[in-house]
Structure 1
Amino acid sequence: MADVEFAVGFLFLDAAQYMYTGSTQDSLRVGNVWQTIYCADKYNLPMLMDMCLQFIRSQLKDDNCLAYLENVKLFAHGCVAAFVEKCLETVDASTTAILQSKQFLAIRQDTLVMLLQRNSLSAEENTIYTAVEKYTGFTWSAEACRKNNLEPSDDNRRQMLGAALFLVRFPLLTDSELVNGPAKSGLLLDSELLAIYKYKNAVTKPPLVFPADYRTGCGFAGFRFKERSASLSHRFLEFHHSLLSRNMWIISIWPSGRD
């Protein structure tokens, strides 16, 4: 957007009144606040910037937090960092709903990386993987290909994801989720799938390019405790199911011939 358009937005705010009184009264609106933030940043008006950030903070909700995050990251003002963190905390609290919303498809790749780096996301890892890639309607990588006029091929989707791909915690997926998700989608190389499989089943864990720690926002510690306290017969059945899933997975990934 041209500087002239931003200046017009600022004039509607009544810049003269702010300059002389330090107040915007009730002039800030959702429709003009981002133009005003632009002007406050460009003309070094930190108090006005603070007022704008306070306003958009009061408007922050699950259904706009990603759009606000995308916009505010464009500005280098010192107080922006606190608002960025507030947006991310909103994502932490309602991760599943936000990842499944349309606004998630509109974020840039660097914002996707920022989200996936968070240890405090409150969604199961398969939900996070599904939002990023799995073929269930529109997904982030498929949408990114479309925006860049690329076919949603395996290689192009990997290219669009970039570093974000290696922030999905694939080792946390169950055998069934791996078989029916990454092993079918073509997103991961056969060598990567095999490395994940080995890591999940090895007593001594080998090095892995994907993170494997549970996200603290999921509260998995209690789940793991309950799992450990399960009856012997239940654990035997679970182990037997794992073996069956493992065999299915090896069969499903081996013939494709990808490196």
Structure 2
Amino acid sequence: MATTAPPSDWQGGKTLIESFDHLLTSGIASDVTFIVGEERNRISAHRLVLLSRSPVFYAMLEGPMAEKGEITIPDISSETFKLFLRYLYTDTIDLTDRNVVPVLNVARKYCVDILVSLCGEFFAKNLTVDSACVLFEQSHVFVMESLRQQCLQFILNNAPGVLRSATFTDLCLNCMTCISGSDDLKVVENGVYEAIIRWSEAECGRQNIKATAGNRRDVLGETLYNVRFLHLEEDFLLRRICSDMVLRSDDLVDIINHKKNNKPLLSEKLNAKRRSSFPWRISRIGIVKHGQWTLMPTDEGISFKSSVDLYMFGFGSFFTKVERSSVDLKVFEDDVCLVQGTKLRGKQEPDTPYMGDIILDNPIKIHAGKTYTVIERSHHTILHFFEKGITKVTHQDITIEFMNSSKSRSTTTDRGHIPYLILSY
């Protein structure tokens, strides 16, 4: 019986990679057949290529325990296996957020170390607020614990952006619960609630049910109590939580009685623990100058606004000749003084030479869009100042805008004192 001849132009003028790619896609001279995935798709390949690229394939095809006949691979999808084979034939692969974890899984299974390294480089370059949840979910599905922990740490450190990403709602309940329940999630509690409510709406859609308050509560289950309701802002609690009606009314009464009337919590589900938070130094300095600022200590300060709700833990202050000297401080919201006191400067850190932290007794809540002013009066003459200051600083998804203050004698956005703020969610 006559057979159709292969195209005559697949060899002439072609590179080795192009010719091998055609061999793979056409199946010409193939001598190995794989039965792949749950669908049991038949995929042809060539022994010579396989055993030359993978020690596992070498053992399977040439070793004393070499398999005979068709080779069944039930734990890898056809799509992933085809991508993997094409890499073996051509040294090229198009990695994406969706396929990199299954490709890494198969590369490890068949000990193709270079492809494993390529996947690692992809993670390093492409782990973003938009891709983190996809990769976290994939690492959960393929039971790759090291990658899962890497993704989780990135998510915890970049929580505000990740929780607002579209991909957060695509997580399975297990992965969403892991993230929202972490004590190390660095975000205001309102953001956790809003994220799981968005997830519940998406889950109702996946289950083809209406996104009512009751259905949202049902799809969330115990994960609803990953929200630290006791640490939500009061206005958010009374307006948003009451309006959504996802939290049961007896839980809401329990929370209000605890917060307002100091009554012990009745429900064991309500988590009273505050999430841990690690403040950042938001620096506004340009070039540090060494020189006496004024002959006598004066009020020096700066105003600022934040794009999101935060907490201020303190600020930075330049050193004097006197070690561990003190400053008098005031913090205003608009013209209302929130804090007034005297504090010692902290020790300098490697990244903060000539200056130390002034830490407040209690963090101050910073409301998005409001104007705050920090004023310090040193007990001794300060020996350093900065010039070419930064007026707008962005950290993750936070923007801090600095402004001149009428309460400051000489410090401005361009030069002077208060080199950084210490802020956190």
Matching residue of 1:256: none
Take 1:196 and 1:54, find their aligned partners in 2: how far apart are those partners? Answer: 46
**Which region of structure 1 is more displaced relative to structure 2, 163-172 or 32-41?**
32-41
Instruction: For residue 73 of structure 1, report the CA deviation from its aligned partner.
Output: 0.8
User: Does structure 1 conserve the Cα–Cα contact (< 8 Å) formed by 2:159 and 2:185?
Assistant: yes
User: Does structure 1 conserve the Cα–Cα contact (< 8 Å) formed by 2:156 and 2:184?
Assistant: yes
The partner residue of 1:113 within 177, 192, 199 is 177
Matching residue of 1:214: 274
The partner residue of 2:88 within 4, 11, 14 is 14
Q: 1:44 to 1:164 in 2, by over 3 A?
A: farther
Take 2:313 and 2:151, find their aligned partners in 1: how far apart are those partners? Answer: 27
Take 1:117 and 1:35, find their aligned partners in 2: how far apart are those partners? Answer: 27
Instruction: For residue 230 of structure 1, report the CA deviation from its aligned partner.
Output: 4.5
Matching residue of 2:106: 39
Matching residue of 1:238: none
Take 2:112 and 2:266, find their aligned partners in 1: how far apart are those partners? Answer: 47
Give the TM-score, by structure 2 length: 0.44
Q: Determine which structure has more spread, i.e. the larger CA radius of gyration.
A: 2
Instruction: For residue 84 of structure 1, report the CA deviation from its aligned partner.
Output: 1.2
Instruction: For residue 64 of structure 1, report the CA deviation from its aligned partner.
Output: 0.3
Instruction: For residue 154 of structure 1, report the CA deviation from its aligned partner.
Output: 1.6
Aligned counterparts, 1:56-67, within 5 A = 56-58=122-124, 59-67=126-134
* C-alpha distance after superposition, 1:125-182 (max 9, x if no partner): 012112222xxxxx21111101110011122101111221011111101221111111
Instruction: For residue 70 of structure 1, report the CA deviation from its aligned partner.
Output: 0.6
Quick one: which amino acid aligns to residue 8 of structure 1? K
Aligned counterparts, 1:80-229, within 5 A = 80-133=144-197, 139-203=198-262, 205-208=264-267, 209-217=269-277, 219=279, 222=313
Q: 1:44 to 1:30 in 2, by over 3 A?
A: closer
Quick one: which amino acid aligns to residue 141 of structure 2? L
User: Does structure 1 conserve the Cα–Cα contact (< 8 Å) formed by 2:101 and 2:142?
Assistant: no
Aligned residues: 210
Take 1:112 and 1:221, find their aligned partners in 2: how far apart are those partners? Answer: 29
Take 2:264 and 2:278, find their aligned partners in 1: how far apart are those partners? Answer: 23
Instruction: For residue 210 of structure 1, report the CA deviation from its aligned partner.
Output: 1.6
3-state SS of the aligned residue for 2:277?
helix
* C-alpha distance after superposition, 1:35-85 (max 9, x if no partner): 4234246x4649578536523422212220100011111123xxx322212
Identity %: 20
Q: 1:52 to 1:199 in 2, by over 3 A?
A: farther
Structure with the greater relative contact order (CA < 8 A, sep ≥ 6): 1 or 2?
A: 1
The partner residue of 1:72 within 139, 142, 151 is 139
User: Does structure 2 conserve the Cα–Cα contact (< 8 Å) formed by 1:65 and 1:87?
Assistant: yes
User: Does structure 1 conserve the Cα–Cα contact (< 8 Å) formed by 2:257 and 2:263?
Assistant: no
Aligned counterparts, 1:237-252, within 5 A = none
CA root-mean-square deviation? 2.9
Take 1:204 and 1:190, find their aligned partners in 2: how far apart are those partners? Answer: 17
Q: Which has the higher helix share?
A: 1
Take 1:82 and 1:35, find their aligned partners in 2: how far apart are those partners? Answer: 14
2:95 maps to 1:30: yes
Q: Which has the higher strand share?
A: 2
Quick one: which amino acid aligns to residue 150 of structure 2? K
Instruction: For residue 108 of structure 1, report the CA deviation from its aligned partner.
Output: 1.3
Take 2:167 and 2:79, find their aligned partners in 1: how far apart are those partners? Answer: 25
Take 1:218 and 1:200, find their aligned partners in 2: how far apart are those partners? Answer: 25
